[in-house]
Each structure stands twice: as C-alpha cells, then as structure tokens.
Amino acid sequence: MAKLPTPATMYSALLRHDPTYEGVFWLGVRTTGIFCRPTCRARTPNRENIEFFAAPSDALHAGFRPCRKCRPLDHGRKPPPLVEQLLAAVEREPGRRHRDAELVERGIDPSTARRQFKRYCGMTFQAYHRARRMGVALSDIRKGKTVLDSQLDQGFASGSGFREAFARIVGTPPSQAGSLGVLHAKWLETPLGAMLALADDRGLHLLDFVDRRGLEQSLTLLQRRLRARVLPGEHPVLTQIVRELDEYFQGTRLMFNTPVVLTGSPFQLAVWRALQNIRPRTTCSYCELAVKIGQPAAVRAVGRANGDNRLSIIVPCHRVIGAGGALTGYGGGLWRKQKLLDLERSITADSC
C-alpha cells in the first residue's frame, strides 16, 4: 500500500493545484460523494470535508464516484466511446450487475470491454463495477448511520440505486428485513486498507478487506446461512476488535481475544480451527495443513477452505504458504500477505 504524504502536505498541494502530486493521491469530498485529482479546478472543499486516498480503487470502495470535471480515472486522454458508455451505465444504476451476457445483448464484446477499460482506467470493467457497487452498499456502514434505508443523496445517482444494491448484497430489501437477525457492522481503517467487521452477541462473524474480490459473495452467503441483516452501529465485540487490531498494527499484540463465530461446513471448520493453531511468526504449507486435519490427500480442498475464510488476520490464513516457501493464494493480495508476515516477525515477545 502506497504511503501518503501528510494531510497538511496534500491539502496544501490541492490548494495550489500542484501537478507534481498527480498520481500520488486522490481526494474524496464528503459533501458531494465525488473523488478528484489534486489538480481539479472545481471549488476547493474545506479540509474537514476531505478524505485522501492512495489509489482510485480505494476511493471507489469508500463510496465515492469519479468527478466528471477532472476525470480521476483518465490518463490525460479522452476515454474511448466504449469506456464512456460503460462508466455511464454504472453511474445510472450503481447497484445493478452488468454480466457478460448483458453486454453481448447490447452489442458489446466482453473481452473488448475488459481490454479497453483496463488500458484506460487501470482496472477491468468488472473490477471497477464491483468496487463501485460495494462502495455504494457499504456507504452507510462506513458513515455509521443507524438506518440503511435512509435516503442517500450524496454521491449516488439515486436512492433507489442504493436500495437495489442493498437488496442484492443483503439478500432482501430493507423494507422486508424485519424478521431477520442482526449483524452489527463497522468500517475499520487499517494501515493495509479499509476492513469490514460484522458481529453479534455471539462474537465476530466477519473481518475482511473491503476490496477483496470474494467479499460480496461472503456477505451474501453468511447472511443467508444466519438469516441475518446487516445494520451499522456499535457493539462490544466490534469495540474489542478495533482495539486489538490497533494494538496488532502498532506491534504490541500478536494474539487476539475477540470471540469469533465460525460458520461453514464440517470440513471448512476443521481447516479454520487448524489455522487458529498456527502460531505467530511461523508458517505452514497447504500440505502440512491437510495432514493436521487428518486428510493428507485433500490439499486442494484445504486451499479452497483457506480462501473461504471470513476472518482475516484473526484466523490467520496469511500464514499458509506454498510447499516451496513461496507466497500463494491470498484473497487480500499477496502484498498484504507479505506485510502481515513481516509485521508479525517484527513483533517481539517483550513488546506484546
């Protein structure tokens, strides 16, 4: 994760519209829900209304949409008509899915769309759309609002777009969610990027990076199995994990005491419990993990269960490596896996 300059330095660069900071940071404006380049010529917002990001994808996951004036996804050239068409389609309905079959029905070749979008915006269309959709759906959680169905008029094409995204991810419209249980949600900022935490009175059910590709599927599956809806708000379990994560990243904690709830098949539960037994500052191969659960031939299945883990860091799937010692298979990105391992190796017993 890129290290940002200080907020004072970035705001000063924004006031000067300093072109030397192009590509160094992007800024989101809370009052409009838009994110911009540091050289944007729109009216400069007040400092308290600004949030800084190291990458456009971070701003998208935080619920901001691209500024139409400075075009923060552009690279100094006009976007191809196909890219403009796709960007407009997402903004019209941020919560709607745009599957390959639908693109074909509109006369768009999916492979061409992926190639042009990647070349122009630095990410595939599906990656952009997923980030935008998740940003919309998680916006209230991030802001700490108490009612997910409240009218959102900051940064979204319409309130109905949010409700559609909510229904797709939560599994039911807000108006029909009254009979479900409740998972309290909190957006956490960490040195390795934003995370989402879900908890109830039993413990922590989910802790994951918001830009992980499988997060949306994890949310859908978890809520279906628990028959629960997600509501932002405080909870003692969330307060505890925030404190313990802060201590972990500050290098004063290696073990977590936050109660967790594992929800999965018997095989998945066996793998996740084995993960919990991998000590800090040590690693384990997929083969070794398969032996530990008594199924030495199930290496691939162990790998899949490892990837299905919903409790990043606490259930330490980042400590599982390839047979030759190489870093492999981490949903949050191999760079995060390396950072976590390096952090844990730097923490001494005396410091925690």
Active-site residue set: 317
Tokens standing for residue 163: 């409700």
Furthest-apart CA pair in the chain: how many Å? 63
Among 350, 268, 263, which Cα is nearest to 317's? 268
Tokens standing for residue 114: 């992926």
Q: How many CB atoms neighbour CB 79 within 10 A?
A: 18
For 4-67, the DSSP string reads P--HHHHHHHHHHT-GGGTTT-EEEETTTTEEE-TT--SPPPPGGGEEEESSHHHHHHTT-EE-
Looking from the CA of 7 toward its CB, the CA atoms found within 13 Å total 8
Distance CA 60, CA 139 (A): 10
Looking from the CA of 23 toward its CB, the CA atoms found within 13 Å total 6
Helix, coil or strand: residue 122: coil
Looking from the CA of 181 toward its CB, the CA atoms found within 13 Å total 13
Burial class (CB in 10 A: 0-12, 13-18, 19+), 168: middle
Contact 67, 34 (CB under 8 A): yes
**Pairing mode, strands 284-285 and 320-321:** parallel
